[in-house]
Chain A
Amino acid sequence: MDDVVEYNGTRLTVIEPDFKEYIDPKLIRRMSHIIKRGVAAARECLNDAKVDMPGAVITGTAFGCMEDTITFLTRMVEQNEELLPPTAFIQSTHNTVAAQIALMLQCHEYNNTFVHKGISFESALFDAIMLLKEQEADNILVGGTEEMVDTSFKVLTRLGLYRRWPVSNLELFATESKGTMGGEGSAFFLLTDKSSTDNLAELTGIKTLYKPANIEESIRTFLKENSLSIEDIDVVITGKNGDTRNDAIYKNLSASVFSNTALANYKHLCGEYPVSSSFALWLASNILKKGIVPEVVFERKTNNFAPKKVLIYNHYQNKYHSLMLLAAV
């Protein structure tokens, strides 16, 4: 977060690591971007947690393996269904990332993939929390993965999701306009029910809402269910994305329930995508662990302090809303 990259355009792309550090080089060649990124992020997550074998693998993705899907579709049309190679098809299923992680780790445990639009990642997280409560598994690997390929970017642009003119990502919120910047990414987390000072943060609450009638009321209720009020929250991370229609909700909340709270945003760093809340969860966990909110994410500061409680509020196209509550350990 000290080394922020500036983009000019309508799309933010993933800054990729050297995949050879995470994946057998023989396998890398056949893997699409989402698979490489997902597997590498999962490996890094396990390394950080010093865990070799997770108790379950759960992923969330709205669009799944777009690169392989489009490759196969293109060949099918261009070659009139003849002499098609199978690789793109077999890697096009939505559970490929979770499957490749299981294969790499030789992990025979529970393996699931949720594909529900703007709450795909939250659904995966929710499943993991239930597994922990059921005492079915510990050290559950949960991730959100999405890739943006040229074709999906073109189609989503035609559907009106993105800016019509290039913009700097660092000016995204300063230039109010229709449309946002497209994004993509992979973020993985290891969930345990064992408390330890080594943990990054504690996830104390999660809720998803479909077309809520009154989001302000829903947020207050959610906090109450977690025995908190808004005054207890040190920072709210919102899903503001620079699109006037999208951000109207955040604007209203910033003047009402969030009026006295420090506010932070993240989509100028990763772009808008259906599982971007996984990026927000990564950000929130690190804020709590390090006790610092990076300057680049602040929208409204309060007094300088080490935050203890963070609320993430994101909505996807004003249909799917999600709330995640985190506390410092």
Chain B
Amino acid sequence: MYIAGLGVISGIGNNVAEHLAAFEREEAGMADITLFDTIHKKQLPVAEVKLSNWALIAMTGLPERSSRTTLLSYVAAKQALDDAAIPNLNSFRTGFVSANSVGGMDKSEDFFVDFLADNSKGKLRNVFDHECGSMTENVAEKLGITDFMTTISTACSSSANAIFYAARLIKNDILDVVVAGGTDALTKFTLNGFNTLMILDKEFCKPFDEHREGLNLGEGAGYVVLVSDKVMTTLNKEPYCKLSGYNNSNDAYHQTASSPDGTGSYLAMTGALKKSGLNPSDIDYINLHGTGTPNNDSAEGTAVKRIFDPHYPPMSSTKSYTGHTLGASGGVEAVFSALAIKHGIIYPNLRFETRMNELPFEPQKKFQKGKNIKHVMSNSFGFGGNCTSLIFSKV
């Protein structure tokens, strides 16, 4: 299962090149909220994609009524497909497996204001594409992929699950090429939802820091193009890497909180290692889930300790740049993992100052490149105890 193409859009850039530049400049994407009116404006920083809906519509040629989630999805998915540059794509069985957490909620919440005042009001075109599956369908249609499509929604691990589901579709000889990943636009619904949980940091987030106070929300989309061995031989390029391990396990502890010993994350990581046939000491970099909430980082850190102690690979949370892009994060961070292998990058964990009392390790602070990175582990954990780890390996 090779990764032949990458596409990403987030608060730190609109394509792969802009992301690499932002990482090197150590520049985070968080700022004040501009996308919608909310009482949380200027109170809670978020990492918005720096393009308006109008700019995205002009860029993509999608209909004006499109959800921002669809728009972001198409930008990144198209980049990934173009990057893979598969000759005679039409001769292969091609699929689109995409994830998101709240579908067209950005439009539905506008509809809902008018609807609530008068049930016969509210523009129906704003609610027509509410379903998560509509985002996938609209993008697949525009990409010209109709052999196979499906949508996964498991909260913040959604797109990591989409990526390994795609790999299994190839392994089971259902498809030859799959564009897989996820998308989520910032919405008032999710902003307020996370705010009720009191896990949003009023400052820029500090993942894995003793004094971390929560996460910053972000938005974006990230996709990889997975191809079979057969398709790989027809490409005029080297793959970025391969997907060598994956696993999904459930914490089965609480609807939102992680268990103190990180049972779910421990099982996800060990399961992925087992699948890849690798030992913990083979991992050269961990892209942590690292949301910056006290609970996540403590549970994830404990699980990392249980597996890697005493030899810890370099690790960091790129959410310190992009914020937490929710259903998109597994896809966005899969792209970062592939780039880490290709360019030998260790991403810094911005704003880290103080090691957590309970952990004997700390994340990387400086941007490094040109290193020999052979195996990267990427963690994505979501509500409902849904824990997924992916392992990407140099070919």
Contacts and interface: CB of A to CB of B under 8 A. Distances in A.
Interface of A: 57, 62-64, 72-74, 76-78, 80-82, 84-86, 89-96, 98-100, 102-103, 105-117, 119-120, 123, 127, 130, 133-134, 151, 154-155, 158-159, 210-211, 319
Given A127-B165, A134-B171, A95 B386 contact: yes
Given A80-B39, A93-B384, A100-B255, A115 B249 contact: no
A120 B136 CA distance: 12
Interface stretch (B45-53, B112-120, B219-227): B112-120
A100 B120 CA distance: 35
Contacts of B192: 72, 76, 81, 84, 89
Contacts of B174: 130
Nearest to B112: A73
Contact of A96 (B150, B151, B255): B255
B163 interface: no
B188 A76 contact: yes
Contacts of A93: 101, 153-155, 382-384
A155 B154 contact: no
A79 B255 CA distance: 25
A103 B252 contact: yes
A95 B119 contact: no
Most buried by B among A62, A78, A84: A62
B256 A115 contact: no
Interface of B: 38-40, 101, 103, 108-109, 112-113, 115-116, 119-120, 124, 127-128, 130-134, 136-137, 146, 149-155, 161, 165, 168-169, 171-172, 174, 188-189, 192-193, 195-197, 248-256, 263-264, 267, 382-386
A110 B193 contact: no
A117 B383 contact: no
Contact of A81 (B38, B101, B127): B38
A111 B386 contact: yes
B153 A133 contact: no
Contact of B154 (A82, A112, A151): A112
B168 A108 contact: no
B385 A112 contact: no
Contact of A90 (B119, B120, B132, B256): B256
A46 to B, nearest CB: 15
A113 B252 CA distance: 15
Contact of A102 (B127, B155, B250): B250
Contacts of A111: 154, 248-250, 384-386
Nearest to B155: A93
Given A94-B132, A111-B250, A114-B150, A99 B386 contact: yes
Most buried by A among B39, B193, B253: B193
9 contacts: A76-B188, A84-B195, A85-B196, A89-B192, A108-B263, A109-B250, A110-B249, A116-B137, A117-B151
A117 B384 contact: no
B275 to A, nearest CB: 10
A65 to B, nearest CB: 11
Given A62-B133, A93-B153, A108-B264, A134 B384 contact: no
B326 to A, nearest CB: 10
Nearest to A136: B168
Contact of B249 (A108, A154, A211): A108
Contacts of A73: 108-109, 112, 189
Nearest to B157: A95
Contacts, number: 171
Given A103-B385, A113-B152, A117-B137, A108 B193 contact: no
B100 to A, nearest CB: 8
Contacts of A82: 39
B384 A95 contact: yes
A75 B382 CA distance: 24
A119 B171 contact: no
Contacts of B197: 86, 89-90
B341 to A, nearest CB: 26
A220 B152 CA distance: 30
Contact of A64 (B153, B251, B253): B153
Given A108-B264, A133-B172, 19 more contacts: A63-B131, A72-B192, A73-B109, A74-B112, A81-B39, A86-B197, A93-B153, A94-B155, A95-B154, A96-B255, A96-B383, A96-B384, A106-B252, A108-B249, A108-B252, A108-B263, A113-B154, A127-B165, A158-B124
Nearest to B168: A130
A108 B267 contact: yes
Most buried by B among A108, A119, A127: A108
Contacts of A76: 109, 188-189, 192
A114 B152 contact: yes
A10 B303 CA distance: 52
A222 to B, nearest CB: 15
A113 B99 CA distance: 10
A96 B103 CA distance: 16
A138 B84 CA distance: 36
Contact of A112 (B165, B253, B254): B165
A114 B250 contact: no
Given A63-B131, A116-B133, A159 B250 contact: no
Most buried by B among A63, A64, A90, A103: A90
Nearest to A110: B248
Contacts of B136: 116
B133 A115 contact: yes
Most buried by A among B131, B133, B171, B250: B250
Contacts of B188: 76, 81
A120 B137 CA distance: 13
B384 A99 contact: yes
Given A72-B189, A82-B39, A91-B255, A99 B383 contact: yes
Contacts of A108: 249-252, 263-264, 267
A273 to B, nearest CB: 12
Contacts of A99: 250, 255, 383-386
